[in-house]
Every structure is written in C-alpha cells, then in structure tokens.
Amino acid sequence: RYNFGFDASGNTLACNSKSTWVSSPQLVGVRTLSSPCESAGVAQSPDGVPLKCDGGAWRADYWVMFYG
C-alpha cells in the first residue's frame, strides 16, 4: 500500500512487486473507491489502494504493482 512516489522532476513513480520504481500516470491525489471520476491519471484510496479511473468511477488497479 501507498506505493506512489515522485522523482526529482515531479514525475509520478510506483513501486512494483520487485521493489523497483517504475513510471506511472500522473497521481491526482486521494480518492474514494467507486467515487465518480473524469481523470486520466491515477489516485490512491485513503487506505492506500492504487486506483484508476475506469468507466467513470475510481476502481482498484494493481497492474503496475504486479506487472509494471
């Protein structure tokens, strides 16, 4: 959980399952799971679950964590 970070230039990074920082879409902040969205970036829930905007709502997204 809480696997997002930033590089020195402010680009969003995510820590993957190999403990390596990888590039990630822009982090837009903390959002609630299933709340409405219109963003192309990523977010995290208050308890640290990575989220992506899918079908107009924030959904859990572990892709970068496991495959990034």
| CB half-sphere exposure, 65, CA atoms < 13 A | 14
- pLDDT tens per residue across span 5-19: 999 999 999 998 888
- pLDDT tens per residue across span 29-38: 999 999 999 8
Whole-angstrom distance, CA of residue 21 vs CA of residue 53: 22
